[in-house]
Structure 1
Amino acid sequence: MLLCRTSAVSQSIARWGSTARRRGAVLHPALSFNYRSCQSVSSTEGKTQPVDAGSSQGQYRDSVLLPCTDFPMKLTGQKLLDRELEIQRMCGFAELYSWQRERKAKKEFCLHDGPPYANGDPHVGHALNKILKDIRNRFEMLRGRQVHYVPGWDCHGMPIELKALGELGPSSLSALQIRQKARQFAERAIARQKAAFQRWGVMADWDKCYYTFDGAYEAAQLKVFQEMHSKGLIYQDYKPVFWSPSSRTALAEAELEYNPEHVSRAIYTTFPLDTLPAKLASEAEDMKGVSVLVWTTQPWTIPANQAVCYMPNAQYSVLKRADSGQLLLVATERAAGLAALLGTELESKGTFTGSELEGGICRHPTIPGKEVPLLPANHVTMGKGTGLVHTAPAHGMEDFSVASHFKLSVECIVDEEGRFTELAGPELANLRAMDEGTDKVICMLKESGALVREEPCVHSYPYDWRTKKPVIIRPSKQWFINTASLKDKAKEVLQKVRVMPESARGGLLSMLDRRTYWCISRQRSWGVPIPVFYHKDTGEALINKHTVSHISTLFKEKGSDCWWELPLESLLPPEVLKKSKAGPVEDYVRGEDVLDIWFDSGASWAAVLEEPEPRADMYVEGKDQIGGWFQSSLLTSVAVRNKAPYKSLVVHGFAVSEKGEKMSKSLGNVVDPQVVINGGTDPTTPAYGADALRWWVAESNVFSEVQIGPTALRSARDSINKLRNTLKFLLGNLQGFDPRTHAVDPKEMQYLDQYMLHLLRGYSIKVTDAYSEFDAGRAIRVLQAFINRDLSSFYFSIIKDRLYCEPEGSLGRRSCQTVLEEVLDGLTRSIAPILPHLAEEVYLHAPGHDEGETLFRSGWVKSSSVWRRPGLEEAVEGACAIRDSFLSSIPGKNAAQYDLTVAIEPGLLFELMESLQEEPTSTCSQLTELMMSARTTLTSSLPRDLPADTLLASGSFLINLEGGVIREDSAFSIAAVPTSAARCPRCRRHTSDTPDCLCPRCQSVLSGAA
């Protein structure tokens, strides 16, 4: 036969009857009866109907091997919740991580957990992140790798401190008392979040997590700090920083939220030009009275103005207002827009390049006698405003750069609460700069005649991410990391990091570009203290490797509370002072600032990852960490080791409502994961269980915004129930089958069964690739396609007669059961990373396992390359092409009621079909089983004397072997004739000689059973 003759031939083909294989719409009539009382056949695999015990069919009821299993088709409500918790206990979910850490493995997979913030209850964002990580970890563990995954929590910072203090109300507490309350608050939040993560089935050793308030963690963090300080990357300076008046502390860029709907009071105001630039003075006699026009969205900074900046290469014009004759100096390209804005014509009186403005001096509009120079600057843009920029060095980052270059004064005019100080002048002192202070400044500009126009401006403005209130820029003495010196190296190492999705790489690079320095000091009590001492008289900082190393050792032993608990003599002992060449201890005081929590978490690679090379295979976090943990981890690692702490980054989106809206209590669209699992008081919020939550995560496109709501959750539940139905069908048909003793060697199987193993191998490769590419959604699509197309619509519809009506121990039935067991095992293992509870539940019911054995301790999907036999694919798929033509010729009719004649000219296709049916005509051949007909005749040409009611059809099948070396497009014709045979009362196939009499096959089965 061809299967033997082509054993060395490639089985690739160019085209096959895919429609036929997928159709399977006309089921065998024997499949619609329910013979066993324990039977509960799934709706997707064939519903059952009761049978009258007195009928001729009913008398054979007990002889038919229908599916039987106590695996439930559906679990709902409390039964579902109880079952999931029972599975967790029975299958050792709590011990699984420790078990896999102790086993021998050739490779390790390290996914470093980004620490969630310990300041609230678990939410769907946590669920999205933790379940995504767990899916990958469970996959890697199943495929034999030793997983390193240590969950952690970010425990310090102002939000926790404020919430802890908020519970007490107004009070005056010491730093240690504040820290104690904050720690207690964080620990309670951690306990709630940890319990939720465990309930979701997240695999970890929950007794060995990391916390940023642990002494050992803080010591490792200080070691990173010390190494960066010794390299000159950490320094103290007085410069503008983002400052939150609402929380009275400096903020880093990563601690800001930009409100795109913020409304500022933008103004156009004039600075009279008292000293004309030399070029203007020599070329224009009528330039007296010219004023420089500036635009700003921060009127409160006008009193701090020290200069007006222009772009050296741009063109500038002096324009005369038609309505008032006022002369205004503005950028030439802004003239038309300003004319429309002011509602008047502007006549040009002269045009100059920016460089010709050098030497000009303006008069400050609100401070009598104060002179303001015109200075060149590269940060001036022409997109908005006038092309001339008001410059207040104390209250703008770029303004400060100008001041540093031209040695301008940097005077801060607002205090820590955002109120004007005395330096702003007596009229403004103590007013809130962004509120009544702004009103007063605008009033002063009006009084001086400098205000040209005021208008509301809606724009993106930075807010404190904790208090949700606007921030300001003000200078203060802080500790900084010089990120400018790290950026180039960070960009270089980032190019070697795999980023998913790749589109997120641009965001990572642009965020690095925006960060010229990183303010790491905070004026709070709850955090890791910056290990610095200050000289009482000079204010000079005492910090070096000796002092930091000593403090690090103390933190490891006692925790960072010792910074406040121990006397200064213990923090600065004589040997440390001697090595530091410092004076007596009484000359110093300890610093009061703590480290930015982004430095806390950014040093986690040093505290958590294992030596000798603390580097994770993967970091997985939301897109907000592009400027947060991803960046702080990268910068600290590059600073210390010149390498990234991760090999790949996965950047997922946020969880949003089904309408795509951000979740908020005011909108009433918040989805609580605990309610998703356990159900709520509202009937519209049933208990879905943990696996439904996990399915929602896996099925979503996590690289965009991830929608969740009733529709998504119902869909997840329904998908799982459909999957349960398929698994139930498989389990039911494996009753009495033990793969250890009953399994049939693939070489002895029927070709259809061998072909199914061939498809199963292809499925296993596809689903493995999907998980490897961090695409659980694709894994689900591959799973559903395999079930719907290859199993339910094809294989299951064909093999039921063999399963139900063949002798229990026959080779054909055992062959089929062997495949079903392999399919069940493959499906169960492939869904396990996503649905661990369901997978273990199925494994408890599946045959061939020792008591106490669990799926997650037994490995990944098993498949064999021997399942891909040359010629097998062509034989079955060639038959499928014929089957497609046959089923298309009898639309809506029962295939089992027809005798089929297949005519193929001698050649490869004919030989392939002969391998499925050796005799010319048969009611029980493999070809007949595939066709699902009453009888199949294989011939080289159709008979001439066909009945009048014959249905004819034709088609072709292209055989392409050895890469096209063997290529044959074979035509075939078919004739379908209503069968004259009677229906067998046992199997209900039309293969009996007379009505109500058993067919020969069933007679043989029953006589053998007797």
Structure 2
Amino acid sequence: PNHLGRPRILPAPGGAQALARPVGSAEQLPRRPPGAACPLPRPVAPAEARPQPSREDSRYRDTVLLPRSRFPAQLPGRLQPETELKTQEKCGFSELYSWQRQRKTKQEFCLHDGPPYANGDPHVGHALNKILKDITNRFHVMRGYKVHYVPGWDCHGLPIELKALSEVKGAENLSPMEIRQRARAFAEGAIEKQKSAFIRWGIMADWANCYLTFDPKYEANQLRVFYKMYDKGLIYRDYKPVFWSPSTKTALAEAELEYNEQHVSRSVYMKFPLLKSPPKLTSVIDGSSPASVLVWTTQPWTVPANQAVCYMPDSAYSIVKCTTTGQRFILAADRVESTAAVLDTQFEVVSTCKGADLADGSCAHPTIPGRVSPLLPANHVTMTKGTGLVHTAPAHGMEDYSVASHHQLPTDCLVDESGYFTEAAGPELKNKNVLEEGNEAVIKMLQAAGSLLKEEKYVHSYPYDWRTKKPIIIRASKQWFVNTADVKAAAQDVLKKVKVIPTSAVNRMLEMLDRRTFWCISRQRCWGVPIPAFYQKSTGECLINSETITDVIKIVEQQGTDAWWALPIEQLLSKEAVAKAGGRDVSDYVKGQDVLDIWFDSGTSWAHVLEGADQRADTYLEGKDQLGGWFQSSLLTMCGLTLVVHGFTVGEKGEKMSKSVGNVVDPDVVINGGEDHTKDPPYGADVLRWWVAESNVFAEVMIGPVVLSAARDDINKLRNTLRFMLGNVEGFNPETDSIPPAEMYIVDQYMLHLLHEYGSKVTEAYKQYDYSKVVRLLQAFCSRSLSNFYFSMIKDRLYCEEAKDPKRRSCQTVLAEALDIIIRSFAPILPHLAEEVFQYIPYKKGKGVFRTGWINASSAWKKPGIEEAIEGACAMRDSFLGSLSGKNALEYEVIIVIEPGLLFELMEALQAEETSSVSQLNEIMMASQTTLLSELPKEIPSDANIIKGTFLINLEGGDICEQSSYKVIAQPIAKAKCPRCRRYTAESSSTPCPRCLQVLAAGKGST
């Protein structure tokens, strides 16, 4: 018991016990973070920052244990990238993946790599994606998991074909095999460039065993998935409207579109004269006065394909009379005023009816004499623009096609694959481009027929081909489809069970799935995996069954899909398969010329890459564009457990990257520097990795010179922190020199407690893929908890105590643990720096950081109650330092007066004697001498500064709660400055202080 009759809260050094109190966030410690309340007025500075010693104390210079390390604080110029390359080689970066795959562990982690497209040089989008994946994989390797990660490339498709042929004269005359050979060569070149970049960025993988979508085994597996879905009825062939790119002459999926918000269309208002009045309106519409339905469209070129006019049954419609011409029109009641304004006229409402009253009416086609366009109900009609009556061309609209299917209307397409009107469109339109002169011709036809009421430019969002950046059309054709309607509900149910980061992305993907009734998977090109179907020459009937697909897959597995084009049909289609299908001869059939959509290519990658019976990955990690692309195509064929969705890279002002703007960032220039190093300095790969980690990757990710320079500065600050710790563990061996936590200084125990807390928070942030939080935690801990707080206090103990003194060994033990934990905490993000600094740790030999596990912070370090002692002392220390106005704290002594109670007991644990210059409390106060009293001294010098304050103690979850007041008296110290330690603790400026004399007498202060 102490003098107050209560057990001590904290014992004296040598046996501090744990106290229970909830711990605050490591990013913001309870009350004020130690060292963050005010700048520290000239604490004991590192040797390099100190003034040159005078002649009197120069003789003691070599007796001080200053930090020693060859680890460079900075790597300027070319040294950074050169050091990284040496580190990669020395530390076995290329062997790490194979090494961890050979470990005997039951814990597996599979990150399935969404294949980047093999159509160009590596860019910062690649860096963002691959580095995020690598951080994830390295974290799991260090945690003891056997990581499964097979990098791949998407190698087929139109973008590669177009680039491969862009510089070939007469490309249109090349055979399919010649096109395929050129496309393959181009893709192989792009793969090698990208692979070299990924290796340079430090991406851990077995780069000799990647997956490529043009590998024969991959193609064979893809065809197996195709037939399995076909056999279940999920894949079918049909004639229906699809997104069609005239510029590339192929069907497109919705994921292959981008929308031009400033597209200008030539919209028209036109009339369809009533041929047959709706029965319910015969009394209103006088046969002697002709009436027309009023229609608006932004695509006049589709009018020749019109088969009906649709109305909304539940909406109100008006019969109006034009006050200037006397003509009668039918249009939506809600659109009367706005339409009259557009037509620069006035409408007199004759009568109003329900849309359903328009049933059984019909109109004359506006340009084709004799053709009848019935009035039909449809739920897709809207009242937000136009006239509330919709021109319906089943060959050129998804909803239009649904109406036609329901009412058995013709769906003839009058437009060919190049976007030109066919002969069926008539001599006036034949061979005219529908988006150009064909559109103009239709408008003139409307005008000549007296059907055109108004033409005007209309700016709106319109779909473009994402490759050619040219507008698409909707065009009916025979295509292959995945019936997503049949699997959509199951896919949405599965998706709801998948963890999606960020959670907002799941709703976007569910909405996309909900809108997707079918997925067009056929493309009219030759660089891809063929749809393995044969067609009867005379009937066009499709032949595909288990026999035909088995034969084709066997050939593809051996020769690749080139065989489809290179071999005659007799070698691809057997007589037995034809006979089983009821056919007579192989020569009656032709090979299909369509290839599979590349989203189907990559979406079936799991079938080739993933191991195990269930073929599931733990994580898919891609950009937000894949919500409608690879994520969706993978989900419709299988599923992963976690989807991580990141944003796109943009310039420093949030603008889209563009060569014309000049804000494109080349990863190679970031790493190795540009032609002018003053403008584009070499940063190395770790700066690129730090940029990825520190960014909020779930939104758009900004990059540019300012961002990269700041990232380099952040890493240099981290290097300085590491260098301080490295320099001060020289001559220390944790195995023989460590001090048990129970025998440490209380502030050292407190640092172990903070290290445990830091390790836990960092680990959890990695688990949540929140790498920017990892960076914030790292920076806060290194800056506030280590540099500003701990390092500034322990320098005297480190430099001036005898080398093997337990007090010095105590903080060296903490530094060794902190060094190890800090390195491991950032190793997944900065692998080059982690391995580099690991080589400079004097007692670490052999294995690198990635082969020796994750953070190992003992649970015995967790002592929440210890915070009360340290933070109480820090509160008084901040009061003292804040009163000095930048003066040297060592020129002062401190008197602390605390009323009897818990706070006094805690301070007694830090300083047992009344006055001391070597106590734990004095070390925290950073003065030359500290006195601890329970009441004010009788005599206080007139020049003393008295600061008052209070401190709230909260222990054992609030069971012990006490607010104590204190006074801090700062006054100039009367003693002389010690020529060795520079503290004012000596009797004479020419004679070291008692502590230093003791160290010198032992003869062990010199290094």
**Quick check: TM above 0.5?**
yes
Give, in whole Å, the separation in 2 of the partners of 1:62 and 1:575.
95
Q: In the TM superposition, what are the counterparts of 1:273-284 in structure 2 within 5 Å? A: 273-284=274-285
2:540 aligns with 539
1:972 aligns with 966
2:138 aligns with 138
Give, in whole Å, the separation in 1 of the partners of 2:175 and 2:286.
68
Give, in whole Å, the separation in 2 of the partners of 1:178 and 1:869.
70
Moved more, 222-231 or 887-896: 887-896
Give, in whole Å, the separation in 1 of the partners of 2:582 and 2:838.
69
Letter of the 2:941 partner, please give it.
P
Moved more, 67-76 or 322-331: 322-331
- Look up the SS of the partner of 2:839 in the other structure: helix
Counterpart of 1:850 (choices 822, 845, 864) is: 845
Kindly indicate whether the alpha-carbon contact (under 8 Å) linking 1:280 and 1:287 is maintained by their aligned counterparts in 2: no
Kindly indicate whether the alpha-carbon contact (under 8 Å) linking 1:20 and 1:880 is maintained by their aligned counterparts in 2: yes
The 3 A distance-change label for structure 1 pair 620 and 960 is same
Q: After superposition, what is the alpha-carbon deviation per residue over 1:243-279, rounded to whole angstroms, capped at 9, x for unaligned? A: 1111111111111111111111111111111211112
Moved more, 925-934 or 505-514: 505-514
Kindly indicate whether the alpha-carbon contact (under 8 Å) linking 2:38 and 2:882 is maintained by their aligned counterparts in 1: no
1:41 aligns with none
- Look up the SS of the partner of 1:759 in the other structure: helix
The 3 A distance-change label for structure 1 pair 578 and 741 is farther
Kindly state the Cα deviation for residue 228 of structure 1 after the two structures are TM-superposed.
Answer: 0.5
Moved more, 381-390 or 508-517: 508-517
1:604 aligns with 605
1:127 aligns with 127
- Look up the SS of the partner of 1:820 in the other structure: helix
Kindly state the Cα deviation for residue 581 of structure 1 after the two structures are TM-superposed.
Answer: 5.3
Is the aligned partner of 1:774 residue 2:784?
Answer: no
Kindly indicate whether the alpha-carbon contact (under 8 Å) linking 2:41 and 2:886 is maintained by their aligned counterparts in 1: no
Kindly indicate whether the alpha-carbon contact (under 8 Å) linking 1:28 and 1:797 is maintained by their aligned counterparts in 2: no
Kindly state the Cα deviation for residue 144 of structure 1 after the two structures are TM-superposed.
Answer: 1.1
The 3 A distance-change label for structure 1 pair 182 and 797 is same
Q: In the TM superposition, what are the counterparts of 1:157-556 in structure 2 within 5 Å? A: 157-171=157-171, 172-285=173-286, 288-556=289-557
2:707 aligns with 712
Kindly indicate whether the alpha-carbon contact (under 8 Å) linking 2:100 and 2:141 is maintained by their aligned counterparts in 1: yes
Kindly indicate whether the alpha-carbon contact (under 8 Å) linking 1:6 and 1:870 is maintained by their aligned counterparts in 2: no
Letter of the 1:67 partner, please give it.
P
Counterpart of 1:742 (choices 737, 742, 748) is: 737
Q: After superposition, what is the alpha-carbon deviation per residue over 1:504-536, rounded to whole angstroms, capped at 9, x for unaligned? A: 112101111221111111111111111111122
Kindly indicate whether the alpha-carbon contact (under 8 Å) linking 1:258 and 1:462 is maintained by their aligned counterparts in 2: yes
Is the aligned partner of 1:69 residue 2:66?
Answer: no
Kindly state the Cα deviation for residue 222 of structure 1 after the two structures are TM-superposed.
Answer: 1.0
Kindly state the Cα deviation for residue 6 of structure 1 after the two structures are TM-superposed.
Answer: 9.0
Kindly indicate whether the alpha-carbon contact (under 8 Å) linking 1:17 and 1:878 is maintained by their aligned counterparts in 2: no
Counterpart of 2:810 (choices 805, 815, 818) is: 815
The 3 A distance-change label for structure 1 pair 764 and 823 is same
2:622 aligns with 621
Give, in whole Å, the separation in 1 of the partners of 2:864 and 2:830.
35
- Look up the SS of the partner of 1:77 in the other structure: coil
Moved more, 164-173 or 796-805: 164-173
1:651 aligns with 645
Kindly indicate whether the alpha-carbon contact (under 8 Å) linking 2:277 and 2:285 is maintained by their aligned counterparts in 1: no
Give, in whole Å, the separation in 2 of the partners of 1:22 and 1:144.
37
Counterpart of 1:3 (choices 1, 10, 18) is: 10
Structure 1 runs not aligned, ≥5 long: 35-46, 638-644
Letter of the 1:208 partner, please give it.
N
1:727 aligns with 722
Q: After superposition, what is the alpha-carbon deviation per residue over 1:65-105, rounded to whole angstroms, capped at 9, x for unaligned? A: 11111111111222111101001100111111111111122
- Look up the SS of the partner of 1:972 in the other structure: strand
The 3 A distance-change label for structure 1 pair 28 and 365 is closer
- Look up the SS of the partner of 1:168 in the other structure: coil
RMSD over aligned Cα, in angstroms? 1.7
Kindly state the Cα deviation for residue 556 of structure 1 after the two structures are TM-superposed.
Answer: 1.6
Letter of the 1:2 partner, please give it.
I
Give, in whole Å, the separation in 1 of the partners of 2:557 and 2:314.
57
Kindly indicate whether the alpha-carbon contact (under 8 Å) linking 2:119 and 2:159 is maintained by their aligned counterparts in 1: yes
Is the aligned partner of 1:692 residue 2:690?
Answer: no
1:642 aligns with none
Counterpart of 2:895 (choices 901, 908, 929) is: 901
- Look up the SS of the partner of 2:415 in the other structure: coil
Kindly indicate whether the alpha-carbon contact (under 8 Å) linking 2:902 and 2:962 is maintained by their aligned counterparts in 1: yes
Letter of the 1:226 partner, please give it.
Y
The 3 A distance-change label for structure 1 pair 440 and 17 is closer
Kindly indicate whether the alpha-carbon contact (under 8 Å) linking 2:160 and 2:187 is maintained by their aligned counterparts in 1: yes
Kindly state the Cα deviation for residue 582 of structure 1 after the two structures are TM-superposed.
Answer: 4.5
1:892 aligns with 886
Give, in whole Å, the separation in 2 of the partners of 1:179 and 1:716.
44
Letter of the 1:539 partner, please give it.
G
Q: In the TM superposition, what are the counterparts of 1:895-934 in structure 2 within 5 Å? A: 895-934=889-928
2:750 aligns with 755
Kindly state the Cα deviation for residue 574 of structure 1 after the two structures are TM-superposed.
Answer: 4.2
Q: In the TM superposition, what are the counterparts of 1:837-876 in structure 2 within 5 Å? A: 837-851=832-846, 853-869=847-863, 871-876=865-870
Q: After superposition, what is the alpha-carbon deviation per residue over 1:216-250, rounded to whole angstroms, capped at 9, x for unaligned? A: 11111111111101111111111111111111111
Instruction: Give the paired residue count.
Output: 988
Q: After superposition, what is the alpha-carbon deviation per residue over 1:473-506, rounded to whole angstroms, capped at 9, x for unaligned? A: 1111111111111111111111001111111112
Kindly indicate whether the alpha-carbon contact (under 8 Å) linking 2:19 and 2:866 is maintained by their aligned counterparts in 1: no
Kindly indicate whether the alpha-carbon contact (under 8 Å) linking 1:363 and 1:371 is maintained by their aligned counterparts in 2: yes
Kindly state the Cα deviation for residue 619 of structure 1 after the two structures are TM-superposed.
Answer: 0.8
Give, in whole Å, the separation in 2 of the partners of 1:237 and 1:26.
77
Give, in whole Å, the separation in 2 of the partners of 1:431 and 1:728.
73
Kindly state the Cα deviation for residue 283 of structure 1 after the two structures are TM-superposed.
Answer: 3.4
- Look up the SS of the partner of 2:36 in the other structure: helix
Q: In the TM superposition, what are the counterparts of 1:46-125 in structure 2 within 5 Å? A: 47-49=49-51, 51-52=52-53, 55-125=55-125
Give, in whole Å, the separation in 2 of the partners of 1:21 and 1:671.
39
Letter of the 2:10 partner, please give it.
L
The 3 A distance-change label for structure 1 pair 287 and 146 is farther
Letter of the 1:161 partner, please give it.
E
1:937 aligns with 931
Structure 2 runs not aligned, ≥5 long: 1-7
Kindly indicate whether the alpha-carbon contact (under 8 Å) linking 1:134 and 1:833 is maintained by their aligned counterparts in 2: yes
- Look up the SS of the partner of 1:833 in the other structure: coil
Give, in whole Å, the separation in 2 of the partners of 1:582 and 1:968.
95
Kindly state the Cα deviation for residue 27 of structure 1 after the two structures are TM-superposed.
Answer: 5.1
Kindly indicate whether the alpha-carbon contact (under 8 Å) linking 2:107 and 2:145 is maintained by their aligned counterparts in 1: yes
2:986 aligns with 992
Is the aligned partner of 1:22 residue 2:36?
Answer: yes
The TM-score with structure 2 as length reference comes to 0.96
- Look up the SS of the partner of 1:862 in the other structure: coil
Moved more, 579-588 or 798-807: 579-588
Give, in whole Å, the separation in 1 of the partners of 2:342 and 2:849.
72
Moved more, 870-879 or 434-443: 870-879
Letter of the 1:889 partner, please give it.
S
Letter of the 1:1004 partner, please give it.
Q
Counterpart of 1:834 (choices 813, 821, 829) is: 829
2:946 aligns with 952
Give, in whole Å, the separation in 1 of the partners of 2:89 and 2:165.
39
Kindly indicate whether the alpha-carbon contact (under 8 Å) linking 1:265 and 1:299 is maintained by their aligned counterparts in 2: yes
Q: After superposition, what is the alpha-carbon deviation per residue over 1:298-345, rounded to whole angstroms, capped at 9, x for unaligned? A: 010011111100000100001222222222211000112112222222
Kindly indicate whether the alpha-carbon contact (under 8 Å) linking 2:260 and 2:462 is maintained by their aligned counterparts in 1: yes
Kindly indicate whether the alpha-carbon contact (under 8 Å) linking 2:237 and 2:479 is maintained by their aligned counterparts in 1: yes
Kindly state the Cα deviation for residue 618 of structure 1 after the two structures are TM-superposed.
Answer: 1.0
Kindly indicate whether the alpha-carbon contact (under 8 Å) linking 1:24 and 1:794 is maintained by their aligned counterparts in 2: no
Kindly state the Cα deviation for residue 106 of structure 1 after the two structures are TM-superposed.
Answer: 3.0
- Look up the SS of the partner of 1:31 in the other structure: coil
- Look up the SS of the partner of 1:188 in the other structure: helix
- Look up the SS of the partner of 2:228 in the other structure: helix
Q: After superposition, what is the alpha-carbon deviation per residue over 1:958-1002, rounded to whole angstroms, capped at 9, x for unaligned? A: 222222222222222222221101110111001011222210011
The 3 A distance-change label for structure 1 pair 353 and 125 is same
2:4 aligns with none
